[in-house]
Structure 1
């Protein structure tokens, strides 16, 4: 009985001791496949082997595993590496003219049991003389009388021929390498053999092993199972070639350290996500147990289409959709909308084939579906399932989609976006012989904020009926306005200019349902945030009036002119936010542009709740008139001395502490902590106090009395109450300036 030792072997040394048999349970030889992954692998592998043989260095090819039986090593792991080494030995023995009875005897001890054709090919290859020519060695071999043309359908033979061509390309100018390759002294290319018999392992282990003795990936196990549903060899070959290339090419540069693993993950995610369309289990679908028999033709057709599909095919509809790339996410990370966009694409593949073959049909199909998908909030699986049914229904009318939408009654219980698509389809159909409305709608829908919803443009463009010129005019004005508001360098300032100008036309602020909260309009791109903010504003008359005023030549100048033309009215709360002829506004203190109106008091959000959070929950607020006064003081007073700082003080409970302005930090040696608070609550109140509960010195008290800041008890806090009405802010600022000058004149350290 032949026993191999657990040691390092060269390929030739191993063949001298035992034969090598690739068992039937193994897969086909893959390193010669004509895909990018295999090309990269063989290029790197052959480069490494050539570099070693042309130097004195060595390379170890890791472990191979197997059992020895009847004089043959039954190889359970290491097939790819050893087959490539066999082909390298074969080529170099030809190249160096060393193919004789002795070398033939050794080479014929390498055999494949996976297919009869593979076994016969190797046997005949070795035992027949192949003369190397200028042409590719594969061509020479295929022209031999003993070569059967049917063998080109054997994936292993096809892959071996490709590898031989690659070996020829790398080693055609080399001489004398065969002797180096088989040298017992130098042993430059080796691998370690591990006999599985010692570990009492069975053939079942192989099912879970890959090319480095590790468990097969989830994808490899799935692929083995999925192949059972493929009814011909051509489709099985595609699984490892054309179809696999889809995912190999989509892997990202950051995954270059493990490209094959990443490609496997993408392919596996594809199967998990596409199977979810067919399974009631959805995210809990078990792709290893799913019966693909009835769906296999559809999946194969989708994969065939994907070999020629690029994500930029939808750029005309919406830029950077990345439909396929997003569909290949882990099932835990992919959104309902991302699933639906691929389902839309899949339905088109099954109905019409490639988008490039039916461009106009695809344009209308993708346009309508993406508009609807992007403008529905998918909160649960039921919403998703309803959309699947709707896409299937639309798919039955894919060739006359606009006609179907415009002529059928979908009932009242439909989404707002579907209503809009019906209206647009009707316009497109009614005027298809006069004007290409689809082109105009596409241009507007492609705007990154509008994202398909343009009903306000249709509404404001129509007098008795929609006008092409009006639609383009308002769209151009909107684009210019939004581009101005989106400039990164001055984004906040520009946004507030838009708010202030719009407010001059009236109270446009959207109201949060069942609350006393309002928004000037935040600019986030999330669907809910858009629905609660600008999409409500676009529908208002004030927004149309603003667009009518714009010539969009210099948006900043035009908005500023609108603001400065507004007449300030101290009893109109809008005036404080609009603030004509000033660069500042209390809006800047409202987080997410949210305010709250309680009777006559207006509070600004100082919390950090998201603009799209349920209930717009806040933790703190400022009072608007106090903020306005703060900004007024900062503009008018060059100095606050003897105090060093002024800041707004928010409140988390207005019943306990009302939001106000605090002026503080008067340095002194006796550690007095003096502070002035200014509070607005229907009137302005000024408070002066000492925070450490120390008695206020008489000299300061006397000074305060001259300003009518008094308290009969001369307690720690003295204050002036109800002296300044709302419209007396200017007087209050003058009063504060004089008070500060007088206090500054006091030498506090001599008190």
Structure 2
């Protein structure tokens, strides 16, 4: 067989006796349930190639590597594509009454000429499949799935289902049946046509090797089967073979750049996985940055392709990479420049930390931040001012990106377009900030949801240009995990209205106090000190939607977490009033003192005095409806909840019951939480063992539910109102 011959799957059997998948290869993967997107995309591409006219260029499935020995071709790369093609030939032959032609070409002495050596069961299944009588099977669109038909065949052993390759073959046959269910007549002939080839690949004969461990030792220093990254490197080497600097690129790929990812490896993520992930995610960024797509123009194929690259969980697929024209010479030149930057002494510790996050997480924010860094690297001048320009570029872009919801691909693509629009100003960003804002807004259009952040950045840059010392103070504040770039609340507190200016010393002090108050040990304190101390000053709760409010959650990973949590509190006047009480003393002690001196009255004081109600709210949520406060165990009232005033009254009555000191006329009390549309209630047992029910509605305790024989709700004891006023001074102030 010629080196680098272009042929169809059927062609290859005119030059070899058999094709074997060697024992050191993995199982067939394209039929796995987890590979649905790859499977459907591949079959869609094959179908398009078969349906097109003979004048069109054939579909090129790229390189297949193998070792030929004694007429048997052992496949080293191309196993997945070849297996799918074999199954496609079998099903189309059976569907189009071409089974005899199939057998003549693909069987010998009753055995399949395409076989697996990975497990005996896989080879047995393929041998049985090629001689099965196609008349037994229905390939039509409304037929029973072909896998069920095959499993029900007398020749099929159920033990074969334990073989991953057999299971994958069955899944792929079902997908082929569904994809090729419509009548078309001659697709099998088109597959085998040697004159008008529709689907081809390049065969690369590794003729200098025998199929032994030596082959893998020479191709892979660890002596194991080729990894996805090694297959990718082989594919990439073929792609750049005509590139003038291909040799230099290949050397760096195997040497300097390898060290970057070797140092970042761990038990879960070996270095070659990280290495391949870097290239796939760079392909994702470059594809998104150049796509010009919008939500209305993104197709299913776009989404599948972007997902494959971004998630980087799937195996390397030469077919998809070739079809999408990924890694053009221009793209590889950019990637080379980025990798060379990280191998140089110009790369900052922050840049290295970002690279690690880029290849170990799939967060849109991290990927957008890395794209911003990439854009800067591609425009760097390598002069003395580069470090300062990069610091300012990253500060502004990070602030913009961290104050946006980046959780949808269409928004992400728009944001990359915005970064592309403003990067011409990267080397003079502070002086060009207004022009950069205009370009950003033009690129994002209606998605430009960060206009308020731009106003903040312009304000901050104005202060920095007046006094450079502002920059350090601001960068320190912007790095707080709950603020992450948005510090307008602290800037507002530092504004002196009389002088119409911002006081930098005051700002620095406010930042220092904020760091102490928003320390994780305080935010997550089991006594809820911060929440209760804030309530002594005012209603700080953050509105989620409608009547629903949050005590604030300690999570700070995403913009969504922060914008409806402590960041929103920092921008309320109540936060400034709390900071006014913070001095050099221990913060926890200061908060406890405010709690001990609480005198705000109403529902706020009840919560301050009963912190267990905050602990009850797993999602940190409550509903405020008029004067009723409902504490939620879940995110809605579909989970159990209780009403604050009635709960506190029940708790105080239970305390007296434990002390045998209940008010006169009351023998026992219970409190009932509820869910749905019901109202929480107290069950009060009177001295004569009669029972009354009470709830809190419209600012007062009222009888609930139980009715007398005339259909009237039974009233509460006459003394109940007096006892409630005595027990609940927070809502019934003394006359």
Q: Scaled by the length of structure 2, what TM-score is found?
A: 0.57
1:334 match: secondary structure: coil
Per-residue CA shift, 1:279-314, capped at 9, x if unaligned? 534761643341503333222211211223798621
Cα shift at 1:507: 2.8
Instruction: Work out whether residues 482 and 567 of structure 2, in 8 Å CA contact, stay in contact via their aligned partners in 1.
Output: no
Please name the residue that 2:131 is paired with.
none
Q: Does 1:577 align with 2:607?
A: yes
Cα shift at 1:445: 0.9
1:460 aligned to 447, 470, 493, which one? 493
2:69 aligned to 53, 62, 67, which one? 67
1:391 aligned to 414, 419, 422, which one? 419
Quote the Cα distance in structure 2 between the aligned partners of 1:529 and 1:648. 34
1:273 aligned to 284, 288, 294, which one? 284
Please name the residue that 1:631 is paired with.
651
Per-residue CA shift, 1:348-395, capped at 9, x if unaligned? 211116799832222111111111111110243332233223222332
Instruction: Work out whether residues 67 and 74 of structure 2, in 8 Å CA contact, stay in contact via their aligned partners in 1.
Output: yes
Cα shift at 1:461: 0.3
1:619 match: secondary structure: coil
Please name the residue that 1:244 is paired with.
258
1:622 match: secondary structure: strand
Quote the Cα distance in structure 1 between the aligned partners of 2:595 and 2:391. 43
Please name the residue that 1:537 is paired with.
569
Q: Does 1:324 align with 2:352?
A: no
Please name the residue that 2:244 is paired with.
231
Q: Does 1:680 align with 2:707?
A: no
Alignment of 1:287-686 (within 5 A): 287-289=321-323, 290=325, 292-308=328-344, 313-314=349-350, 322-329=353-360, 334-352=362-380, 358-405=386-433, 410=438, 414-432=450-468, 436-463=469-496, 464-483=500-519, 486=522, 491-493=525-527, 496-513=528-545, 515-525=546-556, 526-567=558-599, 569=601, 572-579=602-609, 584=611, 586-607=613-634, 609=635, 619-633=639-653, 635-638=655-658, 648-654=671-677, 657-661=678-682, 679-681=695-697, 682-684=699-701
Give aligned pairs, total: 482
Alignment of 1:76-225 (within 5 A): 204=204, 206=206, 211=216, 217=228, 218-225=231-238
Instruction: Work out whether residues 646 and 663 of structure 1, in 8 Å CA contact, stay in contact via their aligned partners in 2.
Output: yes
Per-residue CA shift, 1:204-231, capped at 9, x if unaligned? 5759997179577352453234333642
Cα shift at 1:426: 1.3
Instruction: Work out whether residues 372 and 394 of structure 2, in 8 Å CA contact, stay in contact via their aligned partners in 1.
Output: yes
Cα shift at 1:467: 0.8
1:452 match: secondary structure: coil
Instruction: Work out whether residues 375 and 527 of structure 1, in 8 Å CA contact, stay in contact via their aligned partners in 2.
Output: yes
Quote the Cα distance in structure 1 between the aligned partners of 2:419 and 2:260. 25
Please name the residue that 1:253 is paired with.
267
Q: Scaled by the length of structure 1, what TM-score is found?
A: 0.55
2:622 match: secondary structure: strand
Moved more, 636-645 or 679-688: 636-645
2:329 match: secondary structure: coil
2:429 match: secondary structure: helix
Per-residue CA shift, 1:453-492, capped at 9, x if unaligned? 111111110112111111011111111111275365xx23
Instruction: Work out whether residues 461 and 470 of structure 1, in 8 Å CA contact, stay in contact via their aligned partners in 2.
Output: yes
Q: Which has the larger radius of gyration?
A: 1
Instruction: Work out whether residues 219 and 267 of structure 1, in 8 Å CA contact, stay in contact via their aligned partners in 2.
Output: no
Distance change (3 Å), C-alpha of 1:713 and 1:725: same
Instruction: Work out whether residues 676 and 688 of structure 1, in 8 Å CA contact, stay in contact via their aligned partners in 2.
Output: no
Cα shift at 1:628: 1.3
Instruction: Work out whether residues 311 and 323 of structure 1, in 8 Å CA contact, stay in contact via their aligned partners in 2.
Output: no
Instruction: Work out whether residues 222 and 287 of structure 1, in 8 Å CA contact, stay in contact via their aligned partners in 2.
Output: no
Instruction: Work out whether residues 369 and 398 of structure 2, in 8 Å CA contact, stay in contact via their aligned partners in 1.
Output: yes
Quote the Cα distance in structure 1 between the aligned partners of 2:415 and 2:267. 35
